[in-house]
């Protein structure tokens, strides 16, 4: 089930159908996959190249002696799944840490209108504590819950990454 989740996330829904016709220990051609799935050959090839770029599939190329065309034999490389997940989690962790730093280093202000964005102290000060969107009064916003949530998410993700 992990492979399905990762393939769909990184390569799209149609990619899982292609992957389900690839095998770890047996090569198959793009034409065979297209015939088995009912997908257009160009769509299958596009997905296979995306899987290749993600290192989830590899190929062997030979020349057909009768037609002179190249034939590509594809095989699944499922061991790359964990590397992809680790890369994704590392990026998410970095973004969470950046957001936590932003939240802890800034003081925020907001007007009572829910459609308006928060503003940093510097932005609020520059606008004389008036909302630049609706001209409402900007008041201090307590972001401790956001900080707490970010810390929890960071902790959880770091623990997951240690165990994988």
d(C-alpha 114, C-alpha 102), whole Å: 21
- Token pair 């299958």 in the structure block, residue: 44
pLDDT tens per residue across span 94-152: 999 999 999 999 999 999 888 899 999 999 999 999 999 999 999 999 999 999 999 99
Structure confidence by residue, pLDDT tens digits, 59-97: 999 999 999 999 999 999 888 888 888 888 999 999 999
Beta-carbon contacts of residue 49 (< 8 Å; ≥ 6 apart): none
CATH class of the structural domain 2-78: mainly alpha
Domain ranges of the chain: 2-78, 82-163
- Per-residue pLDDT tens for 15-63? 988 998 887 778 999 999 999 999 999 999 999 999 999 999 999 999 9
**Model confidence, pTM:** 0.69
For 23, which DSSP code?
Answer: -
Element (H, E) at 36: helix 30-37
């Amino acid at each position: 089930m992990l492979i399905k989740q990762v393939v769909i996330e990184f390569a799209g829904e149609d990619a899982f159908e292609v992957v389900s016709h690839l095998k770890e220990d047996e090569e198959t051609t793009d034409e065979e996959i297209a015939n088995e799935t009912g997908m257009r050959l160009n769509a299958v090839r596009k997905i296979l190249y995306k899987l290749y770029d993600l290192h989830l599939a590899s190929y062997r190329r030979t020349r057909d002696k009768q037609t002179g065309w190249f034939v590509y034999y594809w095989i699944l490389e499922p061991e790359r799944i964990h590397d992809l997940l680790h890369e994704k989690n590392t990026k998410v962790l970095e973004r969470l840490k950046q957001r936590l730093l932003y939240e802890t280093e800034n003081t925020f202000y907001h007007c009572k209108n829910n459609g308006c964005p928060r503003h940093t102290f510097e932005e609020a000060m520059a606008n004389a504590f008036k909302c630049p969107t609706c001209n409402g009064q900007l008041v201090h916003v307590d972001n401790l819950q956001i900080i707490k949530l970010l810390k929890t998410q960071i902790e959880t993700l770091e623990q997951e990454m240690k165990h994988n």
